[in-house]
Amino acid sequence: MLAEIKGLNEECGVFAVWGHKEAAQIAYYGLHSLQHRGQEGAGIAVTDGDALSIHKGLGLVTEAFKEGEIDQLHGHAAIGHVRYATAGGGGLVNCQPLLFRSHTGSESLAVAHNGNLVNANEVKHQLESQGSIFQSTSDTEVLAHLIKRSVYPNLEDKFKNALSMLKGAYAFTVLTEDKLLIAQDPQGMRPLSIGRLGEAYVVASETCAFDVIGAEYVREVQPGEIVTIDDEGIRSILFSNASQRALCSMEYIYLSRPDSNLDQINVHSARKQLGKQLAKEAPVEADIVTGVPESSISAAIGYAEQAGIPYELGLIKNRYVGRTFIKPSQELREQGVKMKLSAVRGVVEGKRVVMVDDSIVRGTTSRRIVRLLKDAGALEVHVRISSPPITHPCFYGIDTSTKEELIAATHSIEEMREQMGADSLTFLSTDGMLEGINHGGKDSACGRCMACFTGEYPTEIYQDTLHPHDKAVKS
């Protein structure tokens, strides 16, 4: 399904590099490959050993950094961030990395973060009562305050101390003049991997960033692990008795790039397995299988292969749709002007179609696509979803809707089928999903967070988290 339609979006991607003389450039290309995780803004902070420099900008990585701006970021280490536009937020002030300067200029701190803290408001309240002031609405600022206020003498201990007060899902990267620190939450909910590029170390939200820069994958950052990289090399501590990993299953289903590996499981392969599993659970007599571009293509291929039905390009996405697009008038929309997605009449006309999609959030897009297919002459449209119904909101950094907006939370499957005008509708089972994801993997013992399907959240949830926008300051 299309990210811009769905309201189901990753909230960020992080990248870090240590020990490369063109650190900022490496970060630029790394972030570029993580662009699907956030398009609102991008930033890179570097250190040359003496001082931190930073550049941030709105828009895509290629828009935030103009020719020449990368060259002004000198240094051998960098952290970078791509940001997804959350409701209400926005503007450069919330773009990351955030840079906190000390008046001496030698103990500055840059922080970039992917995830969501569930007790951020509680901690902010406490910090404010002690005199701290906040300039952004992001969780990231909380971490910096906790580090600065920690009484421990060295940075790793301060960091460990700060993390011990935070609950939720996170992948943190922290850069000082002479150190790179990275950390993952105790449940390991957000992906974060370590790689090598010659002598340099690289860290990224997804392994596709390693391929793009020619780096080799080394390992995942472990749940509850702090990794420190500096001139003396790399070292690691665990700051929490790690529970079993609960990596976000939506990363496999929808969010990550198909060429990334998560816990050493290739995302495309996992999706294809989900599609095969779906074909086993929910077969149907049909002429063609088609996937909703781009994220459902792999599952559709798997469904087709398992079912022995030809896989076809029944839906096509216009790759030139961008933000500067002039919207059609209401009248033209009613006449049928549509810009983002087309059904391929020559393919679907007169056919019984299996339409594979990865997930359903509000259900409006599915309705629109079923109609596109029927208008193009499809005889029957059988909707197959390669994940279970989403019935609970996510508090760990995925921008799903509120519970009231989640169609599967308030409707039966038959009601949903009727609403979308499909001839049949089936979701993958939760067991089928786990089977599908782990089938392709070398390490099938890894747990997954399935909270949005089951309501079983891997951490406690705070009152403030449940109504996160009530107190949001306009910005």
Within residues 94-113, the interface with a copy of itself by CB under 8 A covers 98-105, 108-109
Is 286 in a helix, a strand, or coil?
coil
Which residues make up each annotated binding site? Answer: 248, 295, 357-358, 394, 449, 452
Site for a copy of itself in 135-194 (CB under 8 A): 135-137, 144-145, 148-149
Q: What angle do CA 421, 425, 426 make, to 5 degrees?
A: 165
365 contacts 315 by C-beta, under 8 angstroms: no
Nearer to a copy of itself, 33 or 366 (CB): 33
182 contacts 16 by C-beta, under 8 angstroms: yes
- Using CB atoms within 10 Å of the CB of residue 198, give its burial: 0 to 12 exposed, 13 to 18 middle, 19+ buried: exposed
Which residues make up each annotated binding site for [4Fe-4S] cluster? Answer: 248, 394, 449, 452
301 contacts 335 by C-beta, under 8 angstroms: no
**List of residues 6+ apart from 98 with CB closer than 8 A:** 110, 111, 112, 136, 138, 140, 141, 144
Is residue 366 close enough to count as binding a copy of itself by CB under 8 A?
Answer: no
- Using CB atoms within 10 Å of the CB of residue 470, give its burial: 0 to 12 exposed, 13 to 18 middle, 19+ buried: exposed
Catalytic residue among 12, 95, 208, 446: 12
Q: Which stretch binds a copy of itself (CB under 8 A): 18-26, 156-164, 362-370, 408-416?
A: 18-26
Q: What is the distance between the alpha carbons of residues 195 and 432, in angstroms, rounded to a whole number? A: 32
Shortest distance in whole angstroms from residue 285 CB to a copy of itself: 18
Tell me phi and psi for residue 470, to 5 degrees: -55, -40
Q: Which of 4, 49, 93, 236 is in the footprint of a copy of itself by CB under 8 A?
A: 93
208 a catalytic residue: no
Nearer to a copy of itself, 202 or 250 (CB): 202
Q: Which of 2, 35, 196, 230 is in the footprint of a copy of itself by CB under 8 A?
A: 35
Shortest distance in whole angstroms from residue 469 CB to a copy of itself: 10
How many Cβ atoms from other residues are within 10 Å of residue 101's Cβ? 12
Site for a copy of itself in 304-333 (CB under 8 A): 305, 310-313, 316, 318-320, 322, 324-326, 328-329, 331-332
Q: What is the distance between the alpha carbons of residues 76 and 47, in angstroms, rounded to a whole number? A: 7
Q: Which of 8, 23, 60, 169 is in the footprint of a copy of itself by CB under 8 A?
A: 60
Q: What residue type is assigned to position 99 of the chain?
A: L
Nearer to a copy of itself, 4 or 418 (CB): 4
Site for a copy of itself in 120-139 (CB under 8 A): 121, 124-125, 128, 130-137
Q: Which of 7, 29, 280, 430 is in the footprint of a copy of itself by CB under 8 A?
A: 29
39 contacts 3 by C-beta, under 8 angstroms: no
Is residue 199 close enough to count as binding a copy of itself by CB under 8 A?
Answer: no
Site for a copy of itself in 261-290 (CB under 8 A): 261, 265-269, 272
Is residue 117 close enough to count as binding a copy of itself by CB under 8 A?
Answer: no
- Using CB atoms within 10 Å of the CB of residue 287, give its burial: 0 to 12 exposed, 13 to 18 middle, 19+ buried: middle
Is residue 37 close enough to count as binding a copy of itself by CB under 8 A?
Answer: no
Nearer to a copy of itself, 25 or 114 (CB): 25
Site for a copy of itself in 378-437 (CB under 8 A): none
Tokens matching residue 159: 């960091």
Shortest distance in whole angstroms from residue 36 CB to a copy of itself: 8
Is residue 466 close enough to count as binding a copy of itself by CB under 8 A?
Answer: no
Q: Using the Cα atoms of residue 464, residue 465, residue 468 and residue 470 in order, give the sign of their dihedral.
A: negative
- Using CB atoms within 10 Å of the CB of residue 33, give its burial: 0 to 12 exposed, 13 to 18 middle, 19+ buried: buried
Nearer to a copy of itself, 230 or 259 (CB): 259
Q: Which of 175, 227, 297, 452 is in the footprint of a copy of itself by CB under 8 A?
A: 297
Q: What is the distance between the alpha carbons of residues 104 and 82, in angstroms, rounded to a whole number? A: 29
Q: Which stretch binds a copy of itself (CB under 8 A): 57-65, 165-173, 247-255, 278-286?
A: 57-65
Shortest distance in whole angstroms from residue 25 CB to a copy of itself: 6
Catalytic residue ranges: 12
